C-alpha cells in the first residue's frame, strides 16, 4: 500500500524510528485530510489520495504530519494553554462573566497565530524530511497548488489555524533550494551505501 511505502521511507529521516507506527486509511472520499497523533498513529482519509497524485505528494502530507510529532507540537500546545488559561479565566471573571469575549480574543490573538506558526514549522520540517528520504521536494508546491484548486471555500488566514495555501506555496518555494541540497546529499550518501 502506498501509505506504508511512503511512511517507511520518511520515518528514518524523522528520528522517530523507535515508535510502533500504525497506519489507518479511513474510507471517506469527501475528506481531504490526514493526521498523526503522538505515539505513531497515522490516519489518512481516502479523499486525500487523489489530490496527492502519487508518492511524492503523499510524502508532502505525511512529512508535514510527522513533523508535528518531531517538533512536539501537541506538548507545546498543552504547555501554552496551561499558562494562558488561568489568565483568561481571571480576565473573564473580572470583565466578562460569560467568558465569550475573552476566549474569542484569546483564540484570535494567541491560539490561531500560534497554530499557524506550528503549521509553517511542520511544513518546513516535513519538506526537509521528504527531501532527505529522496522524495521530490518540488511535489510540495504542486500538492498545495492542487489543494488550492480543490478548496472551494477559502477563509481569510487570520480566521484559520493554518496558513493560506498561497502563503504555504510561497514559503515552500523559499525553502526549496535547501531541500534540493539535502536531496542531493542524500543521493550521494545512498550511492555510497550501494
Q: How many Å apart are CA 179 and CA 65, to the nearest integer?
A: 17
SS3 179: helix
What does the block give as the cell for 141? Answer: 508546491
What does the block give as the cell for 96? Answer: 466578562
143 phi and psi, to 5 degrees? -60, -50
Catalytic residue flag (residue 142): no
Q: How many Å apart are CA 138 and CA 128, to the nearest integer?
A: 11
Relative orientation angle of helices 2-14 and 112-132, to the nearest 10 degrees: 100
How large is the greatest C-alpha to C-alpha distance in the chain, in angstroms?
68
Whether 23 and 5 have beta carbons less than 8 Å apart is answered as no
Catalytic residue among 17, 30, 55, 65: 65
End-to-end CA distance of the chain: 25
Q: Which residues are catalytic?
A: 65
Amino acid at each position: 500500500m502506498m501509505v506504508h511505502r511512503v511512511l517507511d521511507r520518511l520515518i528514518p529521516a524523522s528520528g522517530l524510528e523507535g515508535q510502533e507506527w500504525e497506519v489507518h486509511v479511513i474510507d471517506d472520499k469527501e475528506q481531504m485530510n490526514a493526521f498523526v497523533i503522538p505515539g505513531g498513529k497515522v490516519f489518512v482519509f481516502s479523499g486525500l489520495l487523489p489530490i496527492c497524485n502519487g508518492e511524492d505528494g503523499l510524502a508532502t502530507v505525511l512529512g508535514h504530519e510527522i513533523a508535528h510529532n518531531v517538533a512536539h507540537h501537541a506538548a507545546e500546545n498543552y504547555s501554552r494553554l496551561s499558562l494562558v488559561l488561568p489568565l483568561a479565566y481571571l480576565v473573564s471573571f473580572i470583565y466578562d462573566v460569560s467568558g465569550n469575549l475573552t476566549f474569542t480574543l484569546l483564540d484570535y490573538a494567541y491560539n490561531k497565530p500560534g497554530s499557524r506558526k506550528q503549521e509553517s514549522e511542520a511544513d518546513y520540517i516535513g519538506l526537509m524530511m521528504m527531501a532527505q528520504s529522496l522524495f521530490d521536494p518540488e511535489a510540495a508546491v504542486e500538492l498545495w497548488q492542487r489543494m488550492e484548486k480543490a478548496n472551494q471555500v477559502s477563509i481569510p488566514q487570520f480566521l484559520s489555524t493554518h496558513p493560506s495555501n498561497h502563503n504555504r506555496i510561497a514559503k515552500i518555494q523559499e525553502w526549496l533550494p535547501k531541500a534540493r541540497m539535502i536531496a542531493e546529499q542524500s543521493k550521494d550518501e545512498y550511492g555510497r551505501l550501494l
